[in-house]
Amino acid sequence: MHRTKLASVVAAGGLAVALALTSCSSPASPEEDHPTLRLGVITQLTSFAPWESAWANESPYLQAVYDTLLRAEPDGTITEGLATDWKWDESKTVLTLTLRDDVEFSDGTALTAQVAADNLARFRDGTSANASFLAGMTSAEAPDDTTLVITLAQPDPALPVYLSQNAGLVGSPAMFDSPDAKTTPIGSGPYVLDAKDTVVGSKYVYDANPDYWDADSVHYDTIQMAFYGDPTALMNAVKGGQVDAANLQSANQIADAEAAGFTAEKSEQSWSGFLLVDRDGTINPAMGDVRVRQAINYALDREGLLKALDNGLGTVTTQVFGTTTSAYDKKLDDRYPYDPEKAKALLAEAGYADGFTLVMPSNNFVPESVFAVYKEQLAAVGITVEWEATGDDLFGRMLGGTWAAFPFLLQTDPTSWQTIQFSMLPGSAWNTSHVADPTVIQLSEVVRSGEQADADAAAKELNTYVVEQAWYAPLYRPTSAFITAAGTQATVQVGNTVPYLWNIRPTE
């Protein structure tokens, strides 16, 4: 009797708790007018201070509170932002922008061209990963409140693109000397950070800015961005209906997300493969011979590697330029078909019939099996790979030109010039041996400062040249995916791994 009573009480209590918990975890009603967007984010925010900001996966955090001087359409076309008009001078070194005169920051300060100029200078001199975007800016001046004049030492056709990204973020001057600038944004963007409900590093809550100048870009009353560092936690949130949209850590999660009723917007934002950087043969004489570099390209079974390493999710390629750039040439996706015999013949022709040893860095964030597969494929044609274990020193040594070649996953930029600037010019960070090839330099100059048609033709020619010279041994462009739940839609952004915030919206 006593035990029965106890059991009844326990059961009733349990039921009450279960009902209470269930009631508080019910998903939002679909009839609601999409007041809240719950966005899953896979990268923690580096900083809200524009001059320290990162982009790519972090762009939603920043686009919520800031405007950029220019914006980019999903296809990469540059369009109006804070600037309504922009034009280059004849030398293509001076860009003049006309700014809106009706914009205020969330602290009530008005946007002026001087504030924008100060932001640009801070970005150039700051510690953003992309500070080098503005390294060539010699001055940013404001002849009047709405005119901003940016002067460059040399032409940079990608400047408007940079101004649509973190280099173009404009914060209130009150942030400049604030010790809290990294965590307390004062922008003119479509939302305002709700500091009370925000947990730095975990969850950011934004409320719509009622006075925003571009009301059409504001689709939600509130946006909650939750950081999911663990892929399992993200997928649990997806399956549990706790996010409306999210970027996935891996394309392998697409099937699970689709099974949970999500739609996957797929894109290719990077390329995986080898950078054969010692094109002069300074570190490893064999690598200075184009036939050896071509042999490496022929030795790699790209289809097999894509299947084995990324479940076939991606597109094999032998070029590093992205599909949306003017340099892209579909034919160059299969310039080096898998042909170990051809690879051996090229090695013999170059005087390495008995093969040679190539030292490359391994790391602890790529499974060891990946390095084993690479080693096996290159060994099959006579190239002995010695993997040198690295730790925190990997990037410093890699960019310092320690190795003749190394495997890596690198971004594909939206424009040809950005790709060139990133890894092909003598001063490019990812041309780690700083090889100066006259043909590359000459064609790059045309891409940089030529008329559009000439620049596009030069970009194509340059792409063909570096593929023929086997500067790289790309394997494939892996698929990345942004998923949306029923009721939410998103448009993929060229050159950015996450759709721009205003392109994530309720389903029409």
Partner 1 sequence: MLTVLTISVLGFYLLHLGARDTARRIVGDTADPTIVARKAHELGLDRPIIVQFFDWAGSALRGDMGRSWFSGQPVTDALASRLPVTLSLTIGAILVTAVVGTILGVLAATRRGRVDGSIQVGSFVGAAIPGFLVALILVLVFAVGLHWVPATGYITPETSITGWLSTIILPIIALSIGATASIAQQVRGSMLDALRLDYVRTLRARGIPNRRVTYDHVLRNSAGPALSVLGIQFIVMLGGAVVVEQVFSLPGLGQTAVSATIQGDIPLVMGLIVVTAVIVLLINLAVDLLQGWLNPKVRLS
Q: Which residues form the interface with partner 1 (CB under 8 A)?
A: 17-18, 20-26, 44-49, 52, 54, 126-132, 135, 179-183, 199-203, 226-230, 232-233, 236-237, 239-242, 391-396, 399-400, 410-411, 429-430
Is the Cβ of residue 367 or residue 396 nearer to partner 1 in the bound state? Answer: 396
Is the Cβ of residue 135 or residue 255 nearer to partner 1 in the bound state? Answer: 135
Is the Cβ of residue 98 or residue 132 nearer to partner 1 in the bound state? Answer: 132
- The distance of closest approach from Cβ of residue 203 to partner 1 in the complex, given in angstroms and rounded to an integer, is 6
Backbone angles phi, psi at 392, to 5 degrees: -65, -20
Beta bridge partners of 203: 199, 226
The answer to whether the beta carbons of residues 318 and 468 sit under 8 Å apart is no
Is the Cβ of residue 131 or residue 343 nearer to partner 1 in the bound state? Answer: 131
Q: Which residues contact 339 (CB under 8 A, 6 or more apart)?
A: 298
- The distance of closest approach from Cβ of residue 496 to partner 1 in the complex, given in angstroms and rounded to an integer, is 15
Alpha-carbon gap, residue 250 to 248, rounded angstroms: 5
Helix (H) or strand (E) holding 17: helix 2-24
- The distance of closest approach from Cβ of residue 423 to partner 1 in the complex, given in angstroms and rounded to an integer, is 10
- The distance of closest approach from Cβ of residue 224 to partner 1 in the complex, given in angstroms and rounded to an integer, is 9
Is the Cβ of residue 47 or residue 294 nearer to partner 1 in the bound state? Answer: 47
- The distance of closest approach from Cβ of residue 289 to partner 1 in the complex, given in angstroms and rounded to an integer, is 28
Is the Cβ of residue 10 or residue 372 nearer to partner 1 in the bound state? Answer: 10
Q: What Å distances lie between residue 482 and 24, 132, 445, CA to CA?
A: 28, 28, 36
The answer to whether the beta carbons of residues 467 and 273 sit under 8 Å apart is no
Please return the burial class of 489, using the count of CB atoms within 10 Å of its CB with bins 0-12, 13-18 and 19+.
Answer: middle
- The distance of closest approach from Cβ of residue 228 to partner 1 in the complex, given in angstroms and rounded to an integer, is 6
- Rg of the chain in Å (alpha carbons): 26
- The distance of closest approach from Cβ of residue 316 to partner 1 in the complex, given in angstroms and rounded to an integer, is 23
The answer to whether the beta carbons of residues 488 and 356 sit under 8 Å apart is no
Number of Cα atoms under 13 Å in the Cβ half of residue 434: 6
Is the Cβ of residue 356 or residue 430 nearer to partner 1 in the bound state? Answer: 430
The answer to whether the beta carbons of residues 463 and 319 sit under 8 Å apart is yes
- Classify residue 458 by its DSSP letter: H
